[in-house]
Structure 1
Amino acid sequence: MELLTLMGVLAVALGLTALARRYALPAPLLIVVVALAASFVPGVPAVELDPELILTLVLPPLLYSTALDSSFAQFRAASRAIVALGVVLVVVTALVVGLVVHLLLPELPMASALVLGAVVAPPDAVTAVAIGRRLGLPRRLMAVLTGESLVNDAAALTLYKIALAAVLGAAGSIGHGFLIFLVAAVLGIGVGLLAGVLVGYIRRKLDDPLMESVFGIIVPFAVYVIAEHLHPFSPDFSGSGVLAVVAAGLYLGNQSLHAGPATRMQDSSIWASLDVLLETLVFALMGLQLPLVLQNMDAAAPDNNTLLVEALVVLAVTIAVRIPYVFLTSALPQAVRLFGRERAAPSWRYLTVLSWTGMRGVVTLAAATGVPLGTPGRDEIQLFAFVVAVGTLLLQGTTLPVLIRRLGVTNDAEAARDEKEEKHAREAAMHAAMRRLDELMPEILSKVDISEERADRLLVRLRGLVESRYQGAIAAISLSAEEREASPHAAFVRARRELLLAQREAVLACREAGELDDEVLRKVLRELDLEELALSNTLTSRVG
């Protein structure tokens, strides 16, 4: 792909993302639809996915960012469901789809059919999570969806390698394949945790927010490449780069809770920007694959209509496998139930939404594009993979919001619990500040030569600052969005922003008059910017 073409695709995709965010539209769907339409426009260059680019430069940072933002406690609590959906369901889907493809195309070797099954097995939760976050899905369901997306790519790509080895005549027994899977998981997780511990130690010693963020940026690429190129026994065995990235991200994300505020703020901004950049690009590339897919379809069979019908059958099977699996595993005996014995079985509404979140993504297309030349059924694999990826995205992605609203799957109970927990946290923080203030005052008085009266006034001001922040936060917790906007605290924030704006304009006027050097200007502006950022507690990310 030419660099100029890539920049053009990225620019248009980012424009569509901005439009979608402004009008609360699902950005992935908008980008894919526009890209599909643009692929028919004469003069639009054909864009072919580079599987190495996607799997090495795009997938690791996206997985790492998701892992950083994931709660390790929630991941552990939902681990049974995550494994059931992210590993077992991937294997089941690959086998069922492979069998159906072999029945539809008897001339296609079973190993090639299993390659296709592995290619279409892993759902991509970007769209589902974006929709769920916007519509307020329960946190438990969001944790399952996010966790599934972190591990299912590893399971699918390992199956993909095993199936390709079978096609090329290099595969062993079923036990050999299971051993490959086990080694990939153990090595991948080991590499990720080791890298996480090492990078965490280095970042703590640096005490430099900029360098800490730089080290964080290289982590996903480094651990992915190291794990994938680690062959302890033979070329057949290697670590899972995906699991290495996930393990490192979960560990460092948990450690970041104890990092400095500057590092946390900087990391949040960096990864939020990278998420939007990479996700807009991959969804645009998905839609632009259509001309190449049509060429492959012409090369695959003289009867395109029959091949297209078969592709739609594979799409239907891929969607259908997930639905009964989710309900059946939830209804199993307690010992093997999807959500564990310690939790009540989720409602059918919850399970219905979970069963309809199987949208496929760019990993499916990248894996299909990476099938070696000369592989039996390569053209059919790429066609079916495209139909499944785009079909699930358009069909399930457009209907999922309606399904969530109709079934009323929301987090109302969680909102009440969050309100209670936030009040408790703020009260604990306020009391801790007061206790620490009482401890500090004697130390301050011993080092500063001020009168007792002035010291009392200083103490009153500091106590008043802590109490006013606490009272303002508590008052805002239980208010609706409309009430919060009309509250005295909101009026104070608006007034404070106006004052900061006036200060910023005055400083810029001094610079225009030649009274300030640019270095001084940037220092003052940074202080004003940080003060304004402190007035806001929201940060949006992702393309949704």
Structure 2
Amino acid sequence: MNGVQLLLIIGVGITVSAVAKRRGVEPGLVIVILAAAASFIPWMPRLELESEAILAIVVPPLLYSATREASVSQFGANLRPIISLGVVLVLLTTAALGYLTNLLLPSIGAAAGFVLGAILAPPDTITTVSHGAEIGMPKRVVGVLTGESLVNDATALTMFTIALGAANGEHTTFGQGAGELARTAFVGLGVGVALGMAAIWVRKRLSAPTLETSLILLVPFTAFLLAEEVHASGIIAVVAASFGISINLTLDPKHQYEGGYLARVQESAVWPVLDFLLETFVFAYIGLQLRFVLADLAESAEPGLAPTLIAAGVLLVAAIVIRLVLVYGLFGRWRLRERMSARRAERDPRYRAALERRRTRRGGEPLSAPDNKETLLVGWTGMRGILTLAAAAAVPETTSSGAPFPGRDAIQAIALLVTLGTLLIQGTTLRWLARRLRFDLAGERAAAEAMRDRGRAVVETAGESFDQQRGAVGTALRDRQLDEETARELIAEIDLRQAAHHYGS
């Protein structure tokens, strides 16, 4: 790929995105479809990148950006459904789609089948929830899907790495795979926390917004590569570093420093631009591979073009159905346990007293299981996206022995077709479904507005000093007078006012 081609891709992507947004269509869907169609232009060259570069360059900044806007309190409150969706669901989906691939395309081998299963397992929920308010999603659903997006990528990439190892001849049992998943997550968490602490320490001493922003832009790549170097989860490392930096430097009064507001204002403008450029590039890059991947399949004896297209159709339907079934199963089991617990509490005073003590320690009632409408909406939010496309592109051309990687062209073609299919089927109907379910969001919106009014009162009573206002917001958050989302909005408003005052004086 040369520089001119890259600039043309991004330039066309900007134009396409502008038109798509005006028409209320997901830009990524339009870009990948147009790129796939453009790949059939006779003079269109094949664009090639090193497979390792796709994951290392694209995924870390996108994940870091998504995490820095996520709510830690919402993540903790929804930890149970997040683990169910981000770990259990991904593992079961990987196994189911891998097994189905082996039935449909036995010629590529079991290991390559499970590589494809891991690639197709994680949905790209973060793109969806970024438009949650427009779609009409309840806050609970947005919190669950946001948390899922921060966990499922790590689970899927770990399974992807294990399956690649198996394709290279490494012997791995189920127990070894589970142990590897736990180890990579734990070590990745440590790498992310350590790097986040180091970045905070350095940033507070740079005293220059441009340098501070440059440092933070390096963090996701550094966290990912450091973790991968010690064979840990780069995804978990990026998430941990992002959470630590954003919470401490934005909301914790102890970590505020002179001039920090300028760096935060600058970052809030930089990250959306970087997100857009990377997403545009990945969708276009994968779409432009379609003609060449299909041509390679048509020339190959195994698995061949027709079997691959049939497999793609079956796996597309399976990916949608499996998520719906498993989400209903996981959330239904949760509701069943709640009912059983309530009945036991009615019969057993000691058990009821133990539940009361547990609620007191937690500071209130635990969140209940999602209802049927929330379950359906979560189950339907299964569009595949950036990680699926990037992981498919990251499948190496050869195994460690130097032999061609089995079924690589089929894997990439199926990943692209399933991504397109889920975007077309689920992505274009999600807004309609949310409206048909008719969630009553009036109470939720009223509570949010009341919280904002409370936050404005906290700021007004703090005095004229911007630092005092931020400190008051941080204290109110610590004392649970404000929620994290409101605190972030208030800090951003204070930062903007101080920046306007700084540049206007």
> TM-score, length-normalised on structure 2?
0.80
Tell me the residue number matched to 1:72.
Answer: 72
Tell me the residue number matched to 1:345.
Answer: 369
Tell me the residue number matched to 2:305.
Answer: 304
CA, structure 1 residues 389+57, in 2 after alignment: closer, same or farther (shift >3 Å)? same
Are residue 215 (structure 1) and residue 206 (structure 2) matched? no
Tell me the residue number matched to 2:246.
Answer: 253
Tell me the residue number matched to 1:371.
Answer: 395
CA, structure 1 residues 126+429, in 2 after alignment: closer, same or farther (shift >3 Å)? closer
Alignment deviations for residues 230-274 of structure 1 (CA, whole Å, 9 cap, x no partner):
1xxxxxxx1111110011011111113244321211110111211
Mapped to 1, the partners of 2:279 and 2:409 lie a distance apart of 26
Question: Displacement, 1:174?
Answer: 2.4
Question: Displacement, 1:79?
Answer: 1.6
CA, structure 1 residues 50+355, in 2 after alignment: closer, same or farther (shift >3 Å)? farther
Tell me the residue number matched to 2:148.
Answer: 148
Mapped to 1, the partners of 2:323 and 2:456 lie a distance apart of 42
Mapped to 1, the partners of 2:412 and 2:462 lie a distance apart of 60
Question: Displacement, 1:68?
Answer: 0.7
Question: Displacement, 1:399?
Answer: 1.4
Counterpart of 1:353, as a letter, is L
**Aligned runs of 1:228-377 on 2, under 5 Å?**
228-230=228-230, 238-258=231-251, 259=256, 260-301=260-301, 304-333=305-334, 342-372=366-396, 373=398, 374-377=404-407
Residues 189 and 236 in structure 2, CA contact (< 8 A), matched pair in contact too: yes
Counterpart of 2:174, as a letter, is I
Alignment deviations for residues 266-293 of structure 1 (CA, whole Å, 9 cap, x no partner):
1101112111111122122232221122
CA, structure 1 residues 199+362, in 2 after alignment: closer, same or farther (shift >3 Å)? same
Question: Displacement, 1:206?
Answer: 3.0
**DSSP 3-state at the match of 1:206:** coil
Mapped to 2, the partners of 1:243 and 1:410 lie a distance apart of 35
Counterpart of 1:254, as a letter, is I
Residues 290 and 413 in structure 2, CA contact (< 8 A), matched pair in contact too: no
Are residue 38 (structure 1) and residue 31 (structure 2) matched? no
Higher mean alpha-carbon deviation, 398-407 vs 377-386, is at: 377-386
Tell me the residue number matched to 2:3.
Answer: 3
Tell me the residue number matched to 2:95.
Answer: 95
Counterpart of 2:235, as a letter, is V
Counterpart of 1:355, as a letter, is G
Residues 64 and 249 in structure 1, CA contact (< 8 A), matched pair in contact too: yes
Mapped to 2, the partners of 1:127 and 1:215 lie a distance apart of 26
Mapped to 2, the partners of 1:50 and 1:119 lie a distance apart of 18
Counterpart of 1:330, as a letter, is F
Counterpart of 1:383, as a letter, is A
Counterpart of 2:418, as a letter, is V
Aligned length: 437
Are residue 381 (structure 1) and residue 381 (structure 2) matched? no
Are residue 425 (structure 1) and residue 455 (structure 2) matched? yes
Mapped to 2, the partners of 1:34 and 1:133 lie a distance apart of 28
Are residue 224 (structure 1) and residue 224 (structure 2) matched? yes
Alignment deviations for residues 41-77 of structure 1 (CA, whole Å, 9 cap, x no partner):
3323333454322211111000001111111111111
Mapped to 1, the partners of 2:449 and 2:435 lie a distance apart of 23
CA, structure 1 residues 386+23, in 2 after alignment: closer, same or farther (shift >3 Å)? closer
CA, structure 1 residues 336+322, in 2 after alignment: closer, same or farther (shift >3 Å)? farther
CA, structure 1 residues 398+335, in 2 after alignment: closer, same or farther (shift >3 Å)? closer
Alignment deviations for residues 175-197 of structure 1 (CA, whole Å, 9 cap, x no partner):
22222212211111100001111
Alignment deviations for residues 391-421 of structure 1 (CA, whole Å, 9 cap, x no partner):
1122211111211222224643221001111
Tell me the residue number matched to 2:401.
Answer: none
Q: CA RMSD in A?
A: 2.8
Mapped to 1, the partners of 2:44 and 2:133 lie a distance apart of 34
Counterpart of 2:155, as a letter, is A
Counterpart of 2:310, as a letter, is V
**Aligned runs of 1:442-453 on 2, under 5 Å?**
none
Question: Displacement, 1:532?
Answer: 12
CA, structure 1 residues 172+199, in 2 after alignment: closer, same or farther (shift >3 Å)? same
Mapped to 1, the partners of 2:60 and 2:40 lie a distance apart of 31
Question: Displacement, 1:207?
Answer: 3.5
CA, structure 1 residues 50+124, in 2 after alignment: closer, same or farther (shift >3 Å)? farther
Are residue 129 (structure 1) and residue 135 (structure 2) matched? no
Residues 151 and 243 in structure 1, CA contact (< 8 A), matched pair in contact too: yes
CA, structure 1 residues 58+108, in 2 after alignment: closer, same or farther (shift >3 Å)? closer
Are residue 206 (structure 1) and residue 202 (structure 2) matched? no
Mapped to 2, the partners of 1:120 and 1:38 lie a distance apart of 24
Unaligned runs of 5+ in 1: 231-237, 440-525, 535-544
Are residue 402 (structure 1) and residue 403 (structure 2) matched? no
CA, structure 1 residues 414+116, in 2 after alignment: closer, same or farther (shift >3 Å)? same
Residues 29 and 398 in structure 1, CA contact (< 8 A), matched pair in contact too: no
Question: Displacement, 1:24?
Answer: 3.6
Counterpart of 1:356, as a letter, is W
Residues 26 and 131 in structure 1, CA contact (< 8 A), matched pair in contact too: no
Tell me the residue number matched to 1:174.
Answer: 174
Mapped to 2, the partners of 1:102 and 1:416 lie a distance apart of 51
Question: Displacement, 1:343?
Answer: 1.8
Question: Displacement, 1:203?
Answer: 1.8
Alignment deviations for residues 358-409 of structure 1 (CA, whole Å, 9 cap, x no partner):
1112322332233332233333222222221221122211111211222224
Residues 359 and 396 in structure 1, CA contact (< 8 A), matched pair in contact too: yes
Mapped to 1, the partners of 2:82 and 2:134 lie a distance apart of 22
Mapped to 1, the partners of 2:282 and 2:81 lie a distance apart of 28
Residues 83 and 148 in structure 2, CA contact (< 8 A), matched pair in contact too: yes
Counterpart of 2:386, as a letter, is V
Counterpart of 1:387, as a letter, is L
CA, structure 1 residues 204+401, in 2 after alignment: closer, same or farther (shift >3 Å)? same
Residues 54 and 393 in structure 2, CA contact (< 8 A), matched pair in contact too: no
Counterpart of 1:278, as a letter, is L
Mapped to 2, the partners of 1:528 and 1:177 lie a distance apart of 51
**Aligned runs of 1:372-521 on 2, under 5 Å?**
372=396, 373=398, 374-409=404-439, 411-433=441-463
Residues 112 and 163 in structure 1, CA contact (< 8 A), matched pair in contact too: yes
CA, structure 1 residues 529+342, in 2 after alignment: closer, same or farther (shift >3 Å)? closer
Mapped to 2, the partners of 1:166 and 1:326 lie a distance apart of 29
Unaligned runs of 5+ in 2: 339-358, 360-364, 399-403, 469-495
Tell me the residue number matched to 1:164.
Answer: 164
> TM-score, length-normalised on structure 1?
0.75
CA, structure 1 residues 280+379, in 2 after alignment: closer, same or farther (shift >3 Å)? closer
Counterpart of 2:268, as a letter, is S
Mapped to 2, the partners of 1:367 and 1:336 lie a distance apart of 37
